[in-house]
Amino acid sequence: MTTSEDRAEGPHRRSASAEDPAEADAVAAADSPPPEDVTRVLAMPPAQDVADVADVSSVADVPADGSADGRAARPADGPADGPAARTADGSSDGLPVQLAAELADGLAAVRAGLAGLAVAVEEIRANLREIDEFHALRAKDRRLIEQLHTENTELHNGQLTKAMAPLFNGLISLYDLMTPVREEDRSTKLLRDQVVQILDLNGVELYQPKRGEAFDSKRQHGTRTAVTEDPGADATVARMTRVGFLRGDVVVRPALVEVYRLRKPAGSASAR
């Protein structure tokens, strides 16, 4: 619609358009009537204008498939896209995917570390088994060494005693000749003590069983028996009649003793 002001300014605009073609096009566009759609909207009542505008905007925003626009649109499977959208494998895009990859790498590293630890533990167990076997062998070696030492000592003593038996027997016989000795015969007593000392220097000691000691057939010889009514005294030494001599565990000469024997009941002989 053309107003009075437009009419007044019309010649001026025309003159300006003659001078500048671009400005003339702008003036012509301003003087041209509005489009048909705008004219229709402007001619509507206010309420109707708002309803139609809303209707037009809603129709313009809805795509052909009936979904909302790009910002509010949801895919067919339901979840909305955007920063919170989920990928096809179920994990969030961006940082969550990277975090999942880092966690997978961390778990792989932990598994590798545990495998290495298991190998180290097995090596330690193998070393401990070797140490136990080594200690067992050392203990066996010690037992063998002790056994050999004992056997060597016994063999040495036995052989040495056997080799020196004539000397020991001569000294022992001399000792028997000087026994018993009278108290006033001090020279004989002194000589006998010298014989005992020589035997002792060679490892030979006097063996004198005591009364009541259990009879030992390896180191004692029974010359006679003595009757006893005490059951506890049966098979014990009643009296020593001659001393013996020992060189360690080797018997150089056994001692001579009398042995107690328990008296049998009077009716035991007739009962047999």
pLDDT, tens only, 165-185: 899 999 999 999 888 877 778
Res 266 pLDDT > 80: no
- Count of CA atoms in the C-beta half-sphere (13 A) of 63: 9
Look at residue 64 and tell me whether its pLDDT is greater than 60: no
Where do we find the tokens 């009879």?
215
d(CA 114, CA 107): 10
Q: What six digits make up the tokens of 191?
A: 């000589």
The pLDDT, as a whole number, for residue 23 is: 58
pLDDT tens for residues 221-250?
A: 999 999 999 999 999 999 999 999 999 888
The mean pLDDT of 86-106, rounded to a whole number, is 70
Round to whole Å and give the CA distance between 192 and 251: 21
* Higher pLDDT pick, 52 / 252: 252
Task: Compare 36 and 188 and report the one with higher pLDDT.
Answer: 188
Q: Can you tell me the distance from the alpha carbon of 172 to that of 245, in angstroms, rounded to the nearest whole number?
A: 8
Q: Which of 37-51, 133-147, 155-169 has the highest mean pLDDT?
A: 133-147
CA triple 101-105-106, angle to 5 deg? 115
Average pLDDT over residues 15-34: 52
Under 8 Å CB-to-CB from 157, ≥6 apart: which residues? 203, 247, 248, 249, 250
- 37: its two tokens: 């759609």
Selected residue with higher pLDDT from 159 and 266: 159
Instruction: Give the whole-number percent of the chain exceeding pLDDT 90.
Output: 36
In angstroms, rounded to a whole number, what is the distance separating the alpha carbons of residues 62 and 72? 11
Q: Note whether 229 and 201 are within 8 A (CB).
A: no
pLDDT digits (tens, 9 = 90+) for 195-226: 999 999 988 999 999 999 999 999 999 999 99
State the pLDDT at residue 154: 74
What is the strand order of the sheet 237-242 is part of? Answer: 220-228, 255-262, 237-242
Say if residues 238 and 258 touch (Cβ distance below 8 Å): yes
Q: Which of 29-33, 38-42, 46-50 has the least mean pLDDT?
A: 46-50
**Separation CA 127–CA 135 (nearest Å):** 12
Looking at the structure, give the CATH architecture of the domain made up of residues 166-265: Roll (2.30)
* pLDDT class of 124 with cuts at 50, 70, 90: very high
Extended strands (E) in the chain: 205-207, 220-228, 237-242, 244-247, 250-253, 255-262
Mean pLDDT of 72-96: 48
- The domain ranges of the chain are 12-61, 135-164, 166-265
CB atoms within 10 A of CB 21: 9
22 pLDDT tier (thresholds 50, 70, 90): low
The pLDDT score that the predictor gives to residue 21 is 56
Name the average pLDDT for the chain: 74
pLDDT at 224: 93
Spatial distance between the Cα atoms of 256 and 209, rounded to a whole number of angstroms: 9
The CB density around residue 168, as the number of other CB atoms within 10 Å, is 20
Phi, psi of 161 (to 5 degrees): -65, -40
Instruction: Give yes or no for a contact between 189 and 230, defined as CB atoms under 8 angstroms apart.
Output: no
